[in-house]
Structure 1
Amino acid sequence: MIRQRWKQGVEGEMRCVMLTGEPGIGKSRMLRAFCDSISDDSHGIVSLHCSAYYRNSPFWPVLRWLQRTFGVGRDAAAGPGGTDSERLKAGIASLGVDADEALLVLANLLGISAATCGPAVDTSSPSFKRRTLDVLVSMLEASTRDRPVLFVVEDVHWIDPSSFEFVGLVIERLISARLLVLLTARPEFESGWTFPHLVQVNLDRLSRRDCVAMIERLTGGKSLPALVLDQIVSKTDGVPLFLEELTKAVLQGDLLQDAGMSYELKGAAQAIAIPDTLQGSLLSRLDRLDPAVKEIAQVAATVGREFGAKLLGLIASTSENELQDELDCLIAAEIIVPAPGKRADDDAYMFRHALIQEIAYQSLLLARRRHYHARIAAALEEHYPDIVERQPELIAQNFAAADLPVRAIGYCSVPASGRLRARLTTRPSPMRSADSNSSIDAPATSLTGRPASCHYC
């Protein structure tokens, strides 16, 4: 079905598909499978990853896309492209949009000095948000002229209101573009969209037959003892991520031995011990890591689902080479992956699934969580002046999670540069409130486990 929508999009009839389902049901897996299926097609990809940590930060996933596209921002490596303003100018020149307007808007949105990118503007004016949205939509439209584009928005249930409005305008306006918009969301998300070219696909749990087939793929066709197979199918209850994790945990554990064409039990049947929950299976995988590698995973989880090696290096007590080795180990263990759109000179990574990041974070003792949050806040203070100026709430959230209320309150009173947050966040969020009972992607949570919002602000 998605492939058919893609063909329609390639022909200039934009389509939008929203995949919905509970955590671990296979939304990301289906997305990856579809991307693999069109890998031989000439196309571009624009990926936005939403996060509970940044649901109140205007245009946060959009900013990450722009930073990767133009090679600018706090995590961009210095190179022959020159300064951020020079890279931005060069990138805009190749887009085929109104260069002067795009440069003015994007420089202000990205926090690049207006002195080097054009005259200063009143970013608090009511028209500036509309200009920003117009430029972003025109950028995406221009990118579809040379080749079809897959526009992916993951975890849209955590999208901030400004990015939500941008996605809505894309679906509304670009109906004749060579474009497929592919969204993933949890069941509680309600967009309110009624576009005729949008279809929602609700993913169900796997049947027993599907579970057995998936297990066979994971074992390379080797059969498992019937008792083990039945326990895996029963405990995973048709949730693909749980099925995958539990099967891998069993294969990598001491329960079975390879007998050539099949696996056999090493001991008596009554000695079988299989994790009862997805969380237990994920935690078991973390526990099998080398202690130093596990610690890096926990530190990264405290930062968020997506993180940069530069910030990680400022927090962790390890050398640059050791850190890279540990990140490579996490990639090999399928804990993290390079962030989508990652360039050769980029250092961005992300957890393969939001639930993996959640479990890594929750495995920390409270004292260690507070310690890492304090180090994150200190690193942002000292090394990321753009965060201090434009997103002080992120520092406040980390100080709050570190149980340093006085420091948190200090950043709650810092106004974002140009009053961007107050100006851009003008539309109510379409999701349930931050108090909703959803899984926690945000590491900077209150100590009761609620998604991040600084309760001192």
Structure 2
Amino acid sequence: MTGRRMPGHPTKDNSGRQPLVGRKDPLRTLDRALDRCVRGTFQFTQLVGEPGVGKTRLLVEVAEAGRKRGMVTLLGRASEFEQDAPLAAVAEALDDHLEHLGSKLADRLDESERRLLGGVFAGLATESHSEPVEIGALRYRLFRAVRTLVELLAESGGLVLVLDDVHWADESSVELLDHLLRHPPRGKVLIAVAYRPSQASPRLAAALGLAEGVRGVRVDVGPLSREEAEEFLGSEVNRSHRNWLYEASGGNPFYLEALSRMGSGKVPAPREATGDDMDILTEVPDTVRAALLLELTRLPDTAQLVARAAAVVGDEFEPASIAAAAVIEEDEALKALDELVARDVVRPESGARFRFRHPLVRHAAYASALAGWRVATHARAADFLRTRGAQAQALAHHVVRSASFGDMAAVAVLADAAAAVGSRAPATAAHWLSTALRLLPATPQTLATRLNLLVFLCMAHSISGQLRAGRDAAREVLALLPPEDWARRAGAARMCATTERMLGSPEAAKSVLMSELRRLPDPHMAEAAPLYLRLTVENMGTGDNPEAMRLLHELAAMELDPSTTYAAAALRPMPAYTAGDTTAALAYLDEAGRLMAQLEPAEIAPWLDITAWLCWAEIMVGRHDSALERLERTIEIARSSGQNYVVSYLYASKAFALGRLGRLTEAIALAEEATDMARLVDSGETLTMALTAQTLVLSWAGDYHAALRAGTEAGEVCGPSRVWWSVMARCARSLVLIYSRDVAAGRAAVEAACEEFESGARDETLLLVCLEAMAHAEATSDTPDAAKPLADRAERAGHRDNPVNTAVAWLVRAHATGGSDPAGSAALAARAAEAFAATGLRLEEGRARLRAGLSLVTAGERERGLAELATAAELFARCGARGLQAQAASAQRKLGQRVPVPRGRRPELPFGLSPREMDVARLVVEGRTNAQIAERLSLSLRTVETHLSHVFGKLGIPSRGGLGRLLAPYLDQP
């Protein structure tokens, strides 16, 4: 038996330990216990919780906190396999720390007591008394000797004795704990134990009950919260994956970490697994899998059989179903369940039902069964459920795993089950439908059934984001459908085109649609409408505005049902807007809104991709509040109908609208979620849109470093193209450079984007956003004359029916005349600010007031200018626009105005930098690399990168290059 000291300073063994996440309340409680101990009071601390919940990690923190207080910190762990070794955990903790006690032991203990200790602690054994002793009548003398030993170890500065997994402790260890609680050691001693309450023996529970009161603290360790789990996983794991990991792990840190280390990085949704959901165990690290399997193999044979049968039956199970699945009597199953409950493998639920302790325990039980036995057991489970009148979706799980080829009854069950869950769990429906198709013989008699299943499968794949699989299913439908089945062919062609376009093949999308249109006997028949609508979207996306308008004209001559009439109306505003006819676009928006209000969600659901264009058009014409209301309703319909592939578009649109309204914190979170969802959909177009929204809102918030990273990725994803979202992506990236005042680097790219917005992918709103950003940058770079041509272009683009864009045009002119006519510039900027305030655009109002303040100061009206600058700074602070807030504060300081820094900051540091951020920035200016800075300041490389990201945001720059220029005046300060 070897003892060991608790780890102290980082070593090769513990330097990689992940920082503790959350647990503030338990740590505070434990710290108070340590403080009482340091004052000379014995303390006993219990950490109680289920396996893997983090008890051991908290014990490490307790020991580390004790070490920092100058206390000896020692750790022992009880083992399931050493329960016959007396005082095993205590011996493991103390052994290596006893040799130096020497004469102290001789002074305090007599020969017989030392002999007793030498029989347990190898570190005290000698040739004269190295034989082990039986722990019988002498045990109380031994316990007193151990208490003396503990007191001696605590004399130098205190002792923290940590004992883990004491639910496996041998009886003598339990008795020792009982003795120490009844006869506490003198001095600064804290004993901390951890155990699983459901596996603690009655004797241990009774003994630990003595710890309640002043000297004892019990900490019930529960799962991590969702926020703590996200911090635990880190920002490298995207939001959707983090959500899955949290749901699958239940917040248990051990399982959370195990699941996050899966080699493939791809995991099925908890309730929408597309394969055998028991295969998850093969992805778990070997140590986790081995531990779970070992726990099961130590069960009695019947208990193992029942555990395996229960794993087959489901998450929750009842004795009768287990007996049927295992082919045993119910009484026998009940006895085995008693054993499983006693071992904490399963736990009783309400209503005579049971559940495994954790999903991974079920996975282990399932994996331990032979494959052939599982097939038969699934069949028995399905038969049992049929006798109970279970619905198809309850049978499907077992049918998938037990049905054989040609089983038409199984095909019917799976089809019915898919229909029942298709709207809320499309991936699950797709899995069941795919299985049904594999079971279905390919004969003329089954063709109708196959087509029905394929159409349903195409929809299920597509709305769940499995685009390639959805496209392939749609192609198979088109290959099998009779030429005269126009309605179903149109639906399949529309779905195929949608997926082709989302997968980056717009020409293939158009080709499919045109091919189907040519098949129709009459191009104006009702079945042509879905094809025209889809073609309109394709042409809008590729910038062919005249063709989109022609197709809408064709639709106007057709007899359409209310749902399709709405879809056509929803597409009309955007082509009118991009043609420069804002008056018509506004009228079309009113009409589409009126029609949408008359429809039920089920009538809108088929046209959500079209509704996304309607929402975007509403944003472009300046109706942000109305657009947000429509987006909320559309997102709700998309979620309820399971159309995940369109939600990312909607989120990106909503993030853009929120950003312009100055609600940047909300916008950033939403854009991040849109990006995470787009990555799951695996569509370049979708990801481009989401990254573009993320780029814009991050740049408006002043996080230029992160914005530039997102914008660069967006450009790489979409590649060089004149498609509207590709132009928008390049525009967004170039705007980051302009906003960060790197005008030379950004000007050419923004100019190119502006030319596209004026001629090709016409977009008046984004054009004006670009022109204002450039004019602002030119004016603040003391080159106001360069902004004058921009003002002329802005006035040509601004439309009297769009008050937002009209105000932006005024602001561009205010930037351009700030030097030549500062009074006129200030008046024009103030006029723009009022217009922005009336439409709720706080961020734009702040930009206008910043310009008004600067122009007023130039005009000699210092006090009025300072008031406008203060208002601008306050608006930027409320919006979360750090870069612009820094610009306003800098202008105020130049005028001698004292600007308060955020609470907790040292006022002598510039730009609101923290002392550590200033240290990092200073070393960057000196030419040090991130690695050198990390070594110099004893920080991790990630921490240095985080500090630099904050520095870039506060200074309003995208990279290291501008640090020296901005910080030069401050670098000579201490």
User: What TM-score do you get using the length of structure 1 for normalisation?
Assistant: 0.50
User: What TM-score do you get using the length of structure 2 for normalisation?
Assistant: 0.25
* Larger relative contact order (CA 8 Å, sep ≥ 6): 1
- Larger strand percent: 1
Larger Rg computed on CA atoms: 2
- Larger helix percent: 2
